[in-house]
Amino acid sequence: MSSNKITFFQRFEKDILSGAKTITLRDASESHYKAGQRVAVSTYETDRWFCDVLIDAVECIKFDELNQIHAEQENMTLPELRSVITDIYGEIETLWMISFHLVRT
């Protein structure tokens, strides 16, 4: 089912609001977002809304294909990014890269 909402861990809020983070990598359960869709963003921990984003693209990517560019788009180092993903999803092969930009209101 399509959803006009996405959550992020609170620790990423600043990076999203500053524009430093422009992608997020999710599992198949969040592969339903579509380019052009406006999505409300809230914290995972308390469901507090903090911005809207516009989805630019949703692309399938393998964990082993993650590179320095993806890390920069996540505002992390590549080892940090790999570690964050493994902490959240365990050993995962297929990810969905959701590219987005902030809607300034």
Longest dimension (CA), the chain: 38
Distance, in Å, from the CA atom of 15 to the CA atom of 79, rounded to the nearest integer, reads: 18
Q: Is 24 in the site for ligand LWPQI4CV (CB under 6 A)?
A: yes
List, in sequence order, every residue forming a beta bridge with 58; answer none if it has no partner. Answer: 98
Q: Are 66 and 14 in contact (CB under 8 A)?
A: no
CB 76 within 8 A of CB 85: no
Count of residues near ligand LWPQI4CV by CB under 6 A: 12
17 sits near ligand LWPQI4CV (criterion: CB under 6 A): no
**The only residue of 3, 4, 5, 9 in contact with ligand LWPQI4CV, by rule CB under 6 A:** 9
What beta strand segments (E) does 44-93 contain?
Answer: 49-62
66 binds ligand LWPQI4CV (CB under 6 A): no
74 catalytic per annotation: yes
Least CB distance to ligand LWPQI4CV at residue 3 (A): 12
Q: Which of residues 28-47 bind ligand LWPQI4CV (CB under 6 A)?
A: 44
Q: Are strands 5-8 and 38-43 parallel, antiparallel or unpaired?
A: parallel
The reply to whether 24 belongs to the active site is: yes
Residues that bind ligand LWPQI4CV (CB under 6 A): 7-9, 12, 24-26, 44, 74, 84-85, 88
